[in-house]
């Protein structure tokens, strides 16, 4: 049953991808199909080695794990500042979500098989993902239990492993890339012009008056006002300012310069790089300032990976990464500015008074233009350093294939917030009856510019604040093949990873991990990996709580069987499965200790002194332990037809237990907050697919196509839920994070419809007086009331689907690629002052979607309920009306590149020159109406559409 629906979804996805492809093809003109001798390599098919966490790399023929990776050539196609943003759409099952487009803070949020994966850089858990792309060799997604087994107590959520480039032995290569882009906002909200705003607000007031006579007639605009708004004859008294146009530029530049040098000889190999990125923001600036008030992000970084063979048996490496990043925004902060767009209607005030001062009035005191130009500035300044060292000694003299290795890794971050903001002074301009112009008193008290520099906890650009990490590892391994049949791979390591964040005591995870695999004749693989590790925030004798996390795997390399080897068209065919337990350590900060915290200070005495107070904090949980996940993964991987067609199918079933949640049966009678306890159980399951096709090298033309899709389902197995009076209210058994709300049944068409509500099985929120144009809700329990008993699971029923398609071709020196990315069964909640009208007690913004409102003349065709002022307790309740389907497909990336014929490059003494142009977020098809972007739809800093041009020269 489930599989059937899955198949159906797959069919839909494929058809969507196909049709989009055709659409693009038609747009770009006819594609000439010719044979090509050179081929653009499909990165996912480059099967060299599999990177595991903790710097364990194994050959794919020796593991039962199924991983997938993207490589430099794909990553560099987008000019993004965060490496995670380059993963969108490229890895099956890895979902990225961009919350904001604000430069410096625009990193995506990852989710993998329903959980948030841990990020590893060069094998070690750390979060510095704001980095260059050229220095990244690959990003591997580790999804199954085997892949993260050695992480033990932090392997349960999967991992994304970023591996940086090392030098290779050979001639020195120097590569310089210069790129320049301009960014345009993908979608902005569409506020109403002043005339529409005033007209609609009058209508909303009239609606309120119907229920509540004498509501507040003062909120009405007069006919004279309306005329003035329409004619724009009185810009001071009746302004009409589109604040987005007023404050934002239409585009902003982004520049990136990257120079790297790599090479090596017999004993030393190196890869070094310097990079500079400058990403400008969309805010206009003014010459009145000697400083920049625009949002911008600027970063310099260096990377130097050096590996040395000291003797025949001893090798060592020093890998250093450093970055300095600076982010700037206006004094009020960019987030505040974008929030002001939502609270400031177009007719709020004139921008400048006649005397040049900022306009405003008692309701709108903060002039937006002033906030952008005259509120000073704030800067985030962060410095990050990573230094990794290792020494490796091969011990072939003991037994061939044995080695021992010691590594130390040190990470340090410091992020400062420099605040140089100042108040914006606005004045209300009034014209008296006699025509005298006066400027009211300042609407904001003047004060000196703030001058602070804060370094605090987990703030700052990378969310790190003050952060230190010390990592030690000692490992030994043994890889040996006997008689060309018995292949042994063994690795044992002990590590300790200690992090300090601000003033907290270090959080240390330490333990011993091991991995062993045995491969017989490259056909049968048996694999075992384990970790025995834990962290130090627990109530045990030595404060460490360790867990044992074993994972077992078996694989059958069918392609190496004799009967398959005879079939020349089968290149690889491998069936693998693994099962095991991993953990997720989430101990909080010594929550086993019952602590007594400072509380609000009460006052005593006539002198009105505040008195320090103490209260018992959240109840302690002495039994807290790590969360556990039992994960099963089975994978079939094949490539056939001379490696032209490749596909991989993964099925997984993960059962999480001991999840830390607050118990559902939490009564206030206990008199305190319940702690999180290890009681939750969730299940995640799904499938992931990859399918690729590439033509063989022949002639001038080559092409490739690769598709991936992930289907993710989840289920709450246990949450200590309260006894629900109706089955449909049960949270247990539903998806993890299932939304519950009312089912909207359109609008009341007329008074008769209102009167018949009860007999039609619909209604309004209990106590609310309905009028035509209000949203009616289904009365689920048929008790004639709409209340908590009528809230049912709403939103998508099927699995959450993410998918991507990477298509490209090459013709002679010209190549082109497309990346499509999308999600299905995806909903967003449109709410608040970025979507509803006249919030903030009636003074908020209103938008174009309100033009489709219900009125006495627009009934059946209405797309929006009747207008209201401020909060509407019925219409603005969480329901299917606001929880909208937002499935989408994006042309995430398109790149066109031209490599200069070698003879021209040689003429300028270069080995190769490549010119390229690429675009990001070029177009989006979404089921979300009204021109809203499916990722940033709530008025935050928009995602950008980027047009980028660049050149790479190699010496």
Partner 1 sequence: MKKTIYISFLFFFMITVMPSCKKVENQPRDLNTLDLVFDSQDLNATLAQQFLNNIYNYLPTGFNRISGDFLDAASGDAISSLANTPISYYNNGLVSSTTNPDGYFSNSYNGIHQINIFLANIDKVPVPTANPTRTITWKAEARFIRAFLYFELLKRYGGVPLIGDKINGLNDNLQLSRNTFAECVTYITTECDAVKGQLNLEPISATNLGRIPRGAAIALKNRLYLYAASPLFNGGGFESDATLKVLTGYPNNDPTRWQNVIASAEELINLGVYSLVQSGNAGYVNIFSQKQNSEVILAKQQINDFTLETVNAPVGYTVNNTQSAGRTSPTQDFVEAFPTISGLPITDPLSGYNAAAPYSNRDPRFNAIIFYNGSAWLNRSGGVQTFDGGLDRPNITSVNQTKTGYYLRKFLADNSTSSSYSAQSHNFVYFRYAEILLNYAEALNEVGRTEDAVQQLILIRKRAGIQAGSGSRYGIATGVNQAGLRTLMQQVDRRIELSFEEHRFWDLRRWKIAPTELNKTLRGIQITKNANGTYTYQTVPVTTITFQEKLYHMPIPYNETVTDANLKQNSGW
In the complex, what is the shortest distance from the CB of residue 930 to partner 1, in angstroms, rounded to a whole number? 25
By C-beta, is 485 or 615 nearer to partner 1? 615
By C-beta, is 755 or 873 nearer to partner 1? 873
For the record, the structure tokens of 104 come out as 């410096």
Q: Reduced to 3 states, what is the DSSP secondary structure of residue 227?
A: helix
Q: Reduced to 3 states, what is the DSSP secondary structure of residue 711?
A: strand
The full 3-state SS of 829-883, as one line of letters, equals ECCHHHCCCCHHHHCCCCEHHHHHECCCCCCCCCCECCCCCCCCCCCCCCECCCE
By C-beta, is 290 or 668 nearer to partner 1? 668
In the complex, what is the shortest distance from the CB of residue 722 to partner 1, in angstroms, rounded to a whole number? 4
- Rounded to 5 degrees, φ, ψ at 27 are -65, -40
The full 3-state SS of 526-579, as one line of letters, equals EEEEEEEEEECCCCCCCCCEEEEEEEEEEEEEHHHCHHHHCCCCEEEEEEEEEE
By C-beta, is 395 or 896 nearer to partner 1? 395
- Rounded to 5 degrees, φ, ψ at 69 are -140, 155
Q: Are 244 and 188 in contact (CB under 8 A)?
A: yes
Residue with structure tokens 């709409």?
Answer: 786
In the complex, what is the shortest distance from the CB of residue 780 to partner 1, in angstroms, rounded to a whole number? 15
By C-beta, is 16 or 591 nearer to partner 1? 591
Q: How many residues does the chain have?
A: 955
By C-beta, is 128 or 869 nearer to partner 1? 869
- Which residue stretches of 485-628 are H helix? 562-565
Start-to-end CA span in the chain (Å): 59
Q: How far apart are CA 45 and CA 68, in angstroms?
A: 9
Q: Are 276 and 296 in contact (CB under 8 A)?
A: no
Hey, which residues does 584 pair with through a beta bridge?
627
By C-beta, is 40 or 510 nearer to partner 1? 510
Q: Are 182 and 836 in contact (CB under 8 A)?
A: no
Conformation bin of residue 93: beta by default, left when phi > 0, alpha when psi is -120 to 50: left
CB-CB neighbours of 234 under 10 Å: 16
By C-beta, is 700 or 721 nearer to partner 1? 721
Q: Return the closest-CA partner of residue 283 out of 256, 245, 257.
A: 245
Q: Reduced to 3 states, what is the DSSP secondary structure of residue 72?
A: helix
By C-beta, is 292 or 496 nearer to partner 1? 496
The sign of the CA dihedral 349, 351, 354, 356 is: positive
In the complex, what is the shortest distance from the CB of residue 237 to partner 1, in angstroms, rounded to a whole number? 11
By C-beta, is 544 or 923 nearer to partner 1? 544
Q: Are 658 and 652 in contact (CB under 8 A)?
A: no
In the complex, what is the shortest distance from the CB of residue 884 to partner 1, in angstroms, rounded to a whole number? 24
In the complex, what is the shortest distance from the CB of residue 883 to partner 1, in angstroms, rounded to a whole number? 19
Q: How far apart are CA 265 and CA 916, in angstroms?
A: 32
In the complex, what is the shortest distance from the CB of residue 229 to partner 1, in angstroms, rounded to a whole number? 11
By C-beta, is 355 or 607 nearer to partner 1? 607
Angle at 434 between CA 430 and CA 440, to 5 degrees: 20
567 Cβ partners below 8 Å, 6+ apart? none
Q: Return the closest-CA partner of residue 148 out of 686, 709, 584, 714.
A: 584
506 Cβ partners below 8 Å, 6+ apart? 498, 499, 500, 536
DSSP 191: B
Q: Return the closest-CA partner of residue 902 out of 813, 814, 816, 810.
A: 813
Angle at 94 between CA 98 and CA 256, to 5 degrees: 50
- Which residue stretches of 641-723 are H helix? none
In the complex, what is the shortest distance from the CB of residue 835 to partner 1, in angstroms, rounded to a whole number? 18
By C-beta, is 341 or 403 nearer to partner 1? 403
By C-beta, is 512 or 564 nearer to partner 1? 512
By C-beta, is 588 or 901 nearer to partner 1? 588
Q: How far apart are CA 153 and CA 35, in angstroms?
A: 51
């Amino acid at each position: 049953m489930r599989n059937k629906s899955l198949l159906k979804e797959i069919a839909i996805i494929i058809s969507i991808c196909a049709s989009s492809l055709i659409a693009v093809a038609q747009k770009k003109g006819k594609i000439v199909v010719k044979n090509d001798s050179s081929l653009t390599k499909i990165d996912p098919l480059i099967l060299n080695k599999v990177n595991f966490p903790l710097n364990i790399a194994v050959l794919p023929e020796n593991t039962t794990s199924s991983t997938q990776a993207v490589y430099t050539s794909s990553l560099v196609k987008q000019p993004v500042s965060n490496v995670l943003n380059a993963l969108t759409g490229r890895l099956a099952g890895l979902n990225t979500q961009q919350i904001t487009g604000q430069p410096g803070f625009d990193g995506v949020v990852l989710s993998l098989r329903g959980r948030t994966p841990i990020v590893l850089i060069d094998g070690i858990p750390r979060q510095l993902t704001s980095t260059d792309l050229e220095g990244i060799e690959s990003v591997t997604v580790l999804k199954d239990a085997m892949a993260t087994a050695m992480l033990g107590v932090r392997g349960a959520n999967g991992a994304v492993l970023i591996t940086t480039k090392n030098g290779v032995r050979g001639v020195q290569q120097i590569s310089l890339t210069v790129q320049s882009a301009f960014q345009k906002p993908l979608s902005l909200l569409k506020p109403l012009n002043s005339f529409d705003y005033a007209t609609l607000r009058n209508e909303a007031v009239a609606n309120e008056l119907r229920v509540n006579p004498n509501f507040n007639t003062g909120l009405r605009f007069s006919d004279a006002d309306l005329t003035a708004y329409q004619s724009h004859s009185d810009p001071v008294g009746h302004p009409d300012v589109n604040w987005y146009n007023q404050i934002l530029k239409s585009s902003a530049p982004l520049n990136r310069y990257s120079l790297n040098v790599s090479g090596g000889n017999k004993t030393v190999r190196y890869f070094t790089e310097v990079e500079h990125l400058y990403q400008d923001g969309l805010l206009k600036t003014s010459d009145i300032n000697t400083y920049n008030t625009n949002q911008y992000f600027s970063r310099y970084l260096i990377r130097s990976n050096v590996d040395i063979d000291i003797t025949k048996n001893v090798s060592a490496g020093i890998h250093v990464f450093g970055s300095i990043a600076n982010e700037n925004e206006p004094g009020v902060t960019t987030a505040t500015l974008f929030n002001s767009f939502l609270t400031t209607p177009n007719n709020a005030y004139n921008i400048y008074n006649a005397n040049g001062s900022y306009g405003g009035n008692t309701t709108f005191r903060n002039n937006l233009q002033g906030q952008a130009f005259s509120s000073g500035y704030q800067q985030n300044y962060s410095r990050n350093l990573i230094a990794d060292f290792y020494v490796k000694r091969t011990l072939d003299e003991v037994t061939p294939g044995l080695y021992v290795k010691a590594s130390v890794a040190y990470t340090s971050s410091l992020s400062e917030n420099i605040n140089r903001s100042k108040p914006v002074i606005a004045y209300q301009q009034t014209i008296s009856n006699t025509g005298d112009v006066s400027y009211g008193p300042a609407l904001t008290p003047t004060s000196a510019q703030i001058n602070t520099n804060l370094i605090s906890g987990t703030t700052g650009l990378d969310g790190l604040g003050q952060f230190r990490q010390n990592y030690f590892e000692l490992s030994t391994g043994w890889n040996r093949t006997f008689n060309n049949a018995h292949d042994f791979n063994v690795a044992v390591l002990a590590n300790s990873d200690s992090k300090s964040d601000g003033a907290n005591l270090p959080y240390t995870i330490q333990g011993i991990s091991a991995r062993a695999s045995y491969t017989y004749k490259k056909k049968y693989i048996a694999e075992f990996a384990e970790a025995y590790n834990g962290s130090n925030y627990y109530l045990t004798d030595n404060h460490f709580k360790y867990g044992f996390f074993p994972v077992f795997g078996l694989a059958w390399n069918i392609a190496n069987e004799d009967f398959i080897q005879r079939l020349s068209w089968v290149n690889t065919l491998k069936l693998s499965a693994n099962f095991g337990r991993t953990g997720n350590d989430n101990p909080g900060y010594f929550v086993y200790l019952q602590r007594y915290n400072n509380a609000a200070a009460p006052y005593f005495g006539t002198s009105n002194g505040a008195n320090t107070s103490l209260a018992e904090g959240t109840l302690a949980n002495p039994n807290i332990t790590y969360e556990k996940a039992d994960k099963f993964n089975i994978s079939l991987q094949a490539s056939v037809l001379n490696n032209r067609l490749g596909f991989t199918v993964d099925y997984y079933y993960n059962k999480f237990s001991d999840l830390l949640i607050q118990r559902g049966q939490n009564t206030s009678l206990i008199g305190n907050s319940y702690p999180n306890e290890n009681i939750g159980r969730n299940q995640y399951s799904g499938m992931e697919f990859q399918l690729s096709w590439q033509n063989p090298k022949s002639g001038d033309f080559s092409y490739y196509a690769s598709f991936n899709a992930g289907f993710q389902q989840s289920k709450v197995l246990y949450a200590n839920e309260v006894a629900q009076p109706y089955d449909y209210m049960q949270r247990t058994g539903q998806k993890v994070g299932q939304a519950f709300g009312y089912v909207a049944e359109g609008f009341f068409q007329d008074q008769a419809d209102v009167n018949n509500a009860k007999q039609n099985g619909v209604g309004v929120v209990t106590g609310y007086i309905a009028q035509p144009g209000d949203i009616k809700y289904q009365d689920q329990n048929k008790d004639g009331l709409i209340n908590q008993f009528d809230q049912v699971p709403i939103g998508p029923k099927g699995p959450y689907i993410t998918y991507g398609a990477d298509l490209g071709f090459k013709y002679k020196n010209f190549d082109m690629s497309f990346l499509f990315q999308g999600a299905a069964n995806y909903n967003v909640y449109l709410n608040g002052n970025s979507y509803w009208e006249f919030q903030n007690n009636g003074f908020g913004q209103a938008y174009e979607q309100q033009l489709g409102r219900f009125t006495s003349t627009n009934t059946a065709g209405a797309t929006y309920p009747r207008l209201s002022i401020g909060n509407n307790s019925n219409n603005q309740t969480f329901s299917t009306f606001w929880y909208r389907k937002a499935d989408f497909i994006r042309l995430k990336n398109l790149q066109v590149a031209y490599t200069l014929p070698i003879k021209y490059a040689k003429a300028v003494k270069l080995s190769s020159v490549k010119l390229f142009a690429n675009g990001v977020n070029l177009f989006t098809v979404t089921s979300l109406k009204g021109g809203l972007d499916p990722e940033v739809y709530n008025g935050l800093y928009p995602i950008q559409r980027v047009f980028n041009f660049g050149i790479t020269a190699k010496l």
